[in-house]
Structure 1
């Protein structure tokens, strides 16, 4: 990847106001736990509404795995306040339960004791649960209890307009989709930098790996870790699959992406074919698109009953979803304002920079670099490969930071920082982690465990209790509580409407759903 072209930077500097209208949203996952740090076996709290239809509070794989979703906003502080309010409302209805504050999970029992999420009796609800049963059969339920932060990002129309003009192109959806895929290719090449800087999952409780071979070192109280590791969530113990390892989803064009994912969904897998139909959606290599684990996804909001690939073919890319950010246990919200500012700069840099097409050799290099940083990211002198050329992580990262400075400066011109650090200051603060790896979240966690003689479990319980106290004061206002109650009640009513509107049998519903892939 080459540096942003001068004419693009000149156009950016002439149109910096558009950066203030970038749209963001956060999806944050958290496990519900009991007072002993064990996975909660209780149903999704009724006071939180319907996990099927609530716009801000749902569940992911497990009934105990909450997912908080902020509305789309152009203001970082608004987004963080929205996420804060969701946490406060949730804690007001958890009783004695807590939210586990890290990506790698809490104390887990056998797989069959991890409750799979339930969404009601409608066809769409049954499909969501059956999909999760399939995930459990294929990868084990423990792996599905890993939590993360998803960062949704989209570019305003005004920015697309000047970018098209600066590129000598006509502004249309094809141009927008093409540039989003360019962003994705650059992001995939450079996502190791986010793993190094943001990785906050270098350790895990031994119970997570019961019965599995591993090469992790032992630490206090049943803790396992990589001495120089950054994010176990993004490595072999996280969202990885031997069956998916040879799968090369192509991000060169929208059609390449659609066809390679479609093929994976429609190609039977011999191991999965042996799983009963009552325990999964299909015997394909992938049941649906979401089963393909990627650090970033192109997205478009789907219509009722529409498959994600169908939505992309219908309207092109609407936004992108970054999926490789660990839950930050030192932040009650799981993510900080400074992380969001860095993500904004990084994503705009990836959007504006030249983005060569990829091939299988590049995909292999991307995977190898990511694996190295996951397991050895803080190892002194670690080398990666950039288009076949060996380069130290520090030198490559330094080059990226230098190239991002112009983008950060543009953000500072567009957005008044007020009492918060400027984008340039945030960039400089994160840059210090290159020469001071002990300041990365992963290093700080391991140092805390060593210095205080804590286990991963004990450290996370401390954070969970501190976060609970944080969200107890100040309490939500009466009007906020009334609004939250109304949203929950509306979601429960909407779930009933969905259930009463079904006109097909579940088998016919699935058949109609999967028939959409034939039209791609």
Structure 2
């Protein structure tokens, strides 16, 4: 960190992108049963507005930006346009889903009749059979992050292109290991799913001992992010998948092994049913690489037709994807500036802090800390493992210890960007360790208990977000005309893909999975 004290300018130009998921709900508050709105274009080819698992689960994607206000402004404009084209529907403001009847109410996302579109829907069919649809409509926010080239040049000096890319990949995996060690701070501060509708709990089969309100809301009194628990998007079915983070090669080998390892459990589902209709892409531990649930991923922008691991093998790590953020229900766009500034700080600190290689037993140690935080993170005096040698600290003491090291970086980032935003973020968030009621989960649970029902709080927030966007102006990043044109163009791109198909779906799948053999 001292090496940066005289050259803070090398920190300027951090790259960020946000992917925010949100369920469409009816005016009555039920899960939407309508198809993806035509006014939003093609969910297959629209670069900014798509769907995730379900027709009702929207996903908003911003391009890479070097400015926090720009990233938030892009999200604002995309949300504003979407709200204006939903009719009477609204966006559910929580990570955990609203009330629904049965799994049949959850309609799989549809992407048209092209082979690519059919494969995307079939992948979701496989997820439904493997894990159930309920888990798949849990929403989150993914934060894509990259360091500027100026920082790499400062850290590594003059290296050849191949050597520098190897150094960058090693540095990102060092960051990832530290993320597992210290990333529990994200659900502590920003977890926003301490409570959920009783209908979800009834269908989950969970053994967690929930407290209940009089209006069928279930909660854990100190929980932060039930989305990250076994109840949510951390699934025990993948416990046997072992992917290491000590090098790019180890990571790619682990992923390839998972997508090539047959699963007896998934084999019982079958690839096709008795009538010959597909049920999943294959019977391996992972159908495709994206099925690997992880709180952080190493990424590179893939070329057309390229798989994620192929892109990483070709060019190394280009950026990382942080996947541990619940939707912030108090923000109309699901994330706020304090969260982004903190993530900038945490990612930089994880990069610069020494990061030894990590074996599976140490990784299990850190996973245990995460689970304690997501289930009882605000519990006074809760202790976490500092390492695998038995040393412990309370979450509050450890959090303050980390913030003491974040502050010098906040000063450097503020110097680089001509702001005071990073130091102000530290000033605010550090107090949340002494006052857990200030955390997003603390605020939300207080509101839920006061109202007696998580759905009542959600409806009030979704209504307020609709009103906000109805009366807000564009931030100037995406005009309505630009977004309408992208919707129109995306429909044309989908049609072109469908017209260009010249092989059967079976042949398409065989060719696609040829890279795993």
Describe the SS at the equivalent of 2:157: helix
Cα pair 2:206 2:231 within 8 Å, conserved: no
Q: Tell me the CA shift for residue 194 of structure 1.
A: 0.7
What is aligned with 1:28? 20
Distance in 1, Cα, partners of 2:385 & 2:329: 31
Which residue does 1:394 correspond to in 2? 396
Deviation digits for residues 102-135 of structure 1, max 9, x if unmatched? 1011111211220000011111111111111111
Distance 1:122 1:354, change over 3 A: same
Superimposed CA distance per residue, residues 42-93 of structure 1 (whole angstroms, 9 cap, x where no aligned partner): 0001110111110100000000000000111101111111100001100111
Determine whether 1:228 maps to 2:222.
Answer: yes
1:399 deviates by: 1.4
CA RMSD between the two structures: 1.8
Helix, strand or coil: the match of 2:411? Answer: helix
Cα distance, 1:453 vs structure 2: 2.9
In 2, Cα distance between equivalents of 1:355 and 1:380: 29
- The SS at the match of 2:151 is helix
Distance in 2 between residues matched to 1:274 and 1:401, nearest whole Å = 49
Q: 2:176 matched to which residue of 1?
A: 184
Structure 2 counterparts to residues 155-194 of structure 1, below 5 A: 155-165=147-157, 172-194=164-186
Match of 1:515 in 2: 514
User: Using the alignment, how far apart are the partners of 1:345 and 1:35 within structure 2?
Assistant: 40
The 2-side partners of 1:119 and 1:29 are apart by: 17
Corresponding position: 1:415 with 2:409: no
Structure 1 residue 476, shift from structure 2 partner: 4.6
- Tell me if structure 1 keeps the 8 A contact 2:17–2:64: yes
Out of 447, 463, 466, the residue aligned to residue 464 of structure 2 is 466
Question: What is residue 44 of structure 1 aligned with on the other side?
Answer: 36
Q: Is the 8 A contact 2:77 2:475 kept in 1?
A: no
> Contact 1:295–1:323 at 8 Å: present in 2 too?
yes
Matches within 5 A, 1:235-274: 235-274=229-268
Distance 1:72 1:316 in 2: 18
Q: 2: distance between equivalents of 1:266 and 1:219?
A: 46
Q: Which runs of 5+ in 2 are unaligned?
A: 272-277
Aligned counterparts of 1:16 and 1:230: Cα–Cα separation in 2: 35
Question: Is the 1:273–1:283 Cα contact (8 Å) retained in structure 2?
Answer: yes
Give the equivalent residue in structure 1 for 2:435.
436
- Sort the Cα spacing of 1:164 and 1:171 in 2 relative to 1 into closer, same or farther, 3 A: farther
Counterpart residue number, 1:496: 495
**Matches of 2:87 and 2:214 in 1, distance apart?**
30
Matches of 2:402 and 2:84 in 1, distance apart?
A: 43
Structure 1 runs (4+) greater than 3 angstroms displaced: 475-479
Q: Report what 2:275 is aligned to.
A: none
The answer for unaligned runs of 5 or more in structure 1 is 1-8
Q: How many residues align?
A: 506
User: Which of 3, 25, 30 is residue 11 of structure 1 equivalent to?
Assistant: 3
Deviation for aligned residue 1:187: 0.7
What CA deviation, in whole Å up to 9, does each residue of 1:363-403 have, x standing for no partner?
11011111100111011111111212222212221211111
State the Cα distance separating 1:171 from its structure 2 match: 5.6
Q: Contact between 1:108 and 1:142, CA under 8 Å: does it hold in 2?
A: no
Task: From the superposition, tell whether residues 436 and 290 of structure 1 become closer, same or farther in structure 2 (CA, over 3 Å).
Answer: same
Whole-Å separation in 2 of the counterparts to 1:515 and 1:18: 43
CA distance in 1 between counterparts of 2:236 and 2:71 reads 37
* Greater alpha carbon shift after TM alignment, 472-481 vs 145-154: 472-481
Corresponding residue of 1:406:
408
Contact 1:230 1:373 in 2 (8 A): yes
